[in-house]
């Protein structure tokens, strides 16, 4: 649930490094601390994976069985009694989003290749703990719902906590909500104001441990509402700490921002350090390119696929972002997808996917962790050029391994690429064209060759020489 503004992160590079010298106030305004970057040599262009545009679907406010809109509405109204958006007839909303719908949704998405992120709020609206009991449902129902998530959701979706309750802040020492009932103790609003990275990390780690108790994998977090909107550098560092401490995540990521204007929605690679050492680190901010144009957080705002891509396939937010080659990541809320059993948001999403697949043949569905890893490799791999009499020779120093790494290298005539990775020659087969690329293949472009391979951590050599 998004309340309050979405603040941008500064792009990576020299401007971000300069911000570090401006003091804490300026850093908070600019928000991003990029850390280290390898020098840009122009030796090669890192393309999107397989030369395609990544797509993903972010689902917020999801959990097991609990319809968060039903239970959260009166809690929000307690803090904001004069806001009309919290005075809706929540008692008429279903208390449950059934597993039958989860199964139906997951099956359709798998059939159409859809991937993304699915939140599991661990203590949804303080109803009950998913790693203990969920009052209102039997223990068997809870266990079955969790098993459904593991079997049907986990293979194609990242799992995130959306903090602990998505409503009241929990005292991590007692496991109980604080007594004060104000915005100061709501996860969505003021609790994070002035908090340090360590304090945020402690709270996020508390949520992550519950997911770990449930046997769910996790490489990132989602912020509820305005959580940490005023302490963005601390949020990035806290995410890095918490994910590494609880899950030993190599490349943590988080979802905080959605931009629907002209700003870039490319992932922001932050806090990159130790790139040439044994333990490189970074955290990636994932940016959505839509708001909830499906069914809304409370299932009272029916959306339209036209805002995403029009029926003639020519316009819409997704078309704008895809055509400029950036990851096109849609965002929604689970109650609006179910829409009180009418499935309005689900139908909007289905129609948008059909239209996207009809318009484009160069898309690739990815989870947020896959996108985060690719962008970390794209920005942090050092590529050095060694001139050769009959072509180019590149040395790649990768702090992180990355599947489907795709490079465009200048080449003349009948140049053929040869790859040595981890000290061993790797076979490369010529693909018929760009749409036929897969790891271990290459294709010829205009005055360049495009090479796709699984990039290992460490040193690799790519030679593009005339045969």
- Kindly state which CATH superfamily the domain 381-466 is placed in: Golgi alpha-mannosidase II (2.60.40.1180)
- Measuring CA to CA, which residue among 203, 242, 198 is closest to residue 220? 242
pLDDT tens for each residue of 301-358:
999 999 999 999 999 999 999 999 999 999 999 999 999 999 999 999 999 999 999 9
- Measuring CA to CA, which residue among 9, 29, 1, 52 is closest to residue 371? 52
Q: Is 7 helix (H, G, I), strand (E, B) or coil?
A: coil
Beta-carbon contacts of residue 235 (< 8 Å; ≥ 6 apart): 192, 197, 200, 223, 227, 228, 254, 256
Compare 11 and 177 and report the one with higher pLDDT. Answer: 177
Please give the Cα distance from 161 to 254 (Å, whole number).
Answer: 10
Compare 41 and 212 and report the one with higher pLDDT. Answer: 212
**Secondary structure letter of residue 435 according to DSSP:** G
> In this predicted structure, which of 35-44, 188-197, 259-268, 454-463 has the lowest mean pLDDT?
35-44
The overall pTM is greater than 0.95: no
Q: Quote the pLDDT of residue 400.
A: 98
Please give the Cα distance from 219 to 2 (Å, whole number).
Answer: 22
Q: Quote the pLDDT of residue 221.
A: 98
Please give the Cα distance from 228 to 122 (Å, whole number).
Answer: 19
**Secondary structure letter of residue 10 according to DSSP:** P
The pLDDT-based confidence of 388 (bands split at 50, 70, 90) is low
Q: Are strands 391-398 and 458-466 parallel, antiparallel or unpaired?
A: antiparallel
Q: Are strands 281-288 and 328-333 parallel, antiparallel or unpaired?
A: unpaired
Q: Quote the pLDDT of residue 40.
A: 86
Q: How remote is the C-alpha of 461 from its chain's centroid? A: 31
- Measuring CA to CA, which residue among 457, 436, 447, 352 is closest to residue 409? 447
**Secondary structure letter of residue 368 according to DSSP:** H
Q: How many other C-beta atoms lie within 10 A of the C-beta of residue 136?
A: 13
Check pLDDT > 80 for residue 215: yes
Q: Quote the pLDDT of residue 389.
A: 54
Q: How remote is the C-alpha of 306 from its chain's centroid? A: 24
pLDDT tens for each residue of 1-27:
433 332 232 222 323 333 333 343 433
- Fold classification of 14-44+52-372 (topology level): TIM Barrel (3.20.20)
Q: Is 107 exposed, middle or buried (0-12, 13-18, 19+ CB in 10 A)?
A: exposed
Per the CB < 8 A criterion, the answer to whether 288 and 318 are in contact is no
Q: Quote the pLDDT of residue 387.
A: 65
Domain positions in the chain: 14-44+52-372, 381-466
pLDDT tens for each residue of 242-283:
999 999 999 999 999 999 999 999 999 999 999 999 999 999
Q: How many other C-beta atoms lie within 10 A of the C-beta of residue 288?
A: 27
Check pLDDT > 60 for residue 461: yes
- Measuring CA to CA, which residue among 288, 294, 428, 325 is closest to residue 6? 288
Q: How many other C-beta atoms lie within 10 A of the C-beta of residue 430?
A: 12
Please give the Cα distance from 52 to 364 (Å, whole number).
Answer: 6
- CA dihedral sign of residues 160, 154, 290, 372: positive
Please give the Cα distance from 452 to 49 (Å, whole number).
Answer: 8
The pLDDT-based confidence of 392 (bands split at 50, 70, 90) is confident
Buried b (16+ CB within 10 A) or exposed e, 209-220: bbbeebebebbb
Residue 97 phi, psi dihedral angles, 5° rounding = -105, 110
The residues pairing with 117 across neighbouring beta strands, listed in sequence order, are 58, 158
Q: Is 291 helix (H, G, I), strand (E, B) or coil?
A: coil
Compare 102 and 17 and report the one with higher pLDDT. Answer: 102
pLDDT tens for each residue of 130-148:
999 999 999 999 999 999 9
**Secondary structure letter of residue 11 according to DSSP:** P
Q: What percent of the chain has pLDDT over 90?
A: 87
Mean pLDDT (the chain, rounded): 92
pLDDT tens for each residue of 37-80:
999 888 899 999 999 999 999 999 999 999 999 999 999 999 99
Residue 190 phi, psi dihedral angles, 5° rounding = -95, -10
**Secondary structure letter of residue 39 according to DSSP:** P
Work out the end-to-end distance of the chain between its first and last CA atoms, rounded to an integer number of angstroms: 57
Please give the Cα distance from 453 to 428 (Å, whole number).
Answer: 8
Please give the Cα distance from 27 to 30 (Å, whole number).
Answer: 5
Residue 254 phi, psi dihedral angles, 5° rounding = -145, 155
**Secondary structure letter of residue 440 according to DSSP:** T
The pLDDT-based confidence of 446 (bands split at 50, 70, 90) is confident
Q: What is the mean pLDDT of residues 84-99?
A: 96
Q: Quote the pLDDT of residue 390.
A: 57
């Amino acid at each position: 649930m998004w309340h309050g503004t979405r603040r941008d992160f500064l792009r990576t590079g020299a401007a971000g490094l300069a911000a570090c010298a401006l003091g804490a106030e300026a850093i908070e305004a600019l928000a991003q601390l990029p850390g280290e970057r390898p020098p840009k040599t122009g030796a090669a262009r890192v393309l999107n994976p397989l030369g395609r545009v990544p797509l993903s679907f972010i689902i917020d406010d999801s959990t097991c069985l609990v319809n968060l809109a039903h239970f959260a509405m009166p809690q929000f109204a307690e803090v904001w009694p004069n806001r009309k958006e919290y005075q809706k007839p929540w008692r008429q909303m279903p208390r449950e989003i059934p597993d039958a719908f989860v199964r139906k949704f997951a099956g359709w998405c798998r059939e159409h290749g859809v991937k993304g992120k699915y939140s599991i709020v661990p203590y949804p609206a303080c109803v009950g703990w998913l790693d203990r009991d969920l009052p209102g449902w039997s223990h068997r129902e809870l266990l079955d719902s969790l098993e459904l998530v593991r079997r049907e959701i986990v293979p194609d979706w990242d799992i995130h906590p959306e903090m602990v309750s998505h409503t009241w802040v929990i005292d991590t020492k007692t496991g109980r909500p604080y007594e004060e009932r104000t915005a100061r103790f709501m996860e969505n609003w003021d609790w994070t104001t002035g908090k340090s990275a360590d304090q945020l990390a402690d709270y996020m780690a508390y949520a992550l441990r519950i997911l770990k108790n449930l046997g769910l994998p996790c490489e990132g977090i989602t912020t509820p509402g305005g959580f940490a909107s005023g302490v963005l550098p601390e949020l990035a560092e806290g995410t890095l700490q918490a994910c590494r401490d609880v899950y030993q995540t190599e490349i943590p990521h988080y979802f905080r921002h959605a931009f629907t204007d002209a700003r870039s929605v490319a992932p922001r690679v932050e806090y990159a350090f130790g790139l040439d050492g044994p333990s490189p680190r970074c955290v990636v901010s994932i940016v959505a390119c839509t708001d909830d144009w499906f069914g809304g957080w409370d299932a009272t705002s029916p959306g339209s696929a036209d805002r995403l891509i029009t029926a003639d396939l020519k316009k819409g937010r997704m078309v704008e972002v895809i055509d400029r080659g950036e990851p096109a990541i849609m965002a929604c809320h689970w109650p609006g997808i179910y829409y009180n059993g009418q499935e309005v948001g689900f139908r909007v999403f289905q129609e948008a996917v059909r239209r996207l697949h009809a318009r484009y043949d160069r898309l690739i569905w990815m989870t947020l962790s896959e996108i985060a890893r690719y962008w970390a490799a794209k920005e942090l791999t050092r590529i050095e050029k060694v001139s050769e009499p009959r072509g180019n020779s590149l040395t790649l120093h990768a702090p992180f391994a990355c599947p489907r790494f795709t490079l465009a290298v200048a080449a003349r005539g009948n140049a053929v690429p040869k790859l040595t990775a981890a000290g061993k020659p790797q076979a490369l087969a010529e693909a018929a064209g760009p749409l036929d690329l897969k790891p271990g293949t290459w294709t010829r472009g205009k005055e360049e060759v495009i090479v796709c391979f699984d990039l290992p951590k460490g040193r690799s050599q790519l030679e593009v020489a005339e045969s």
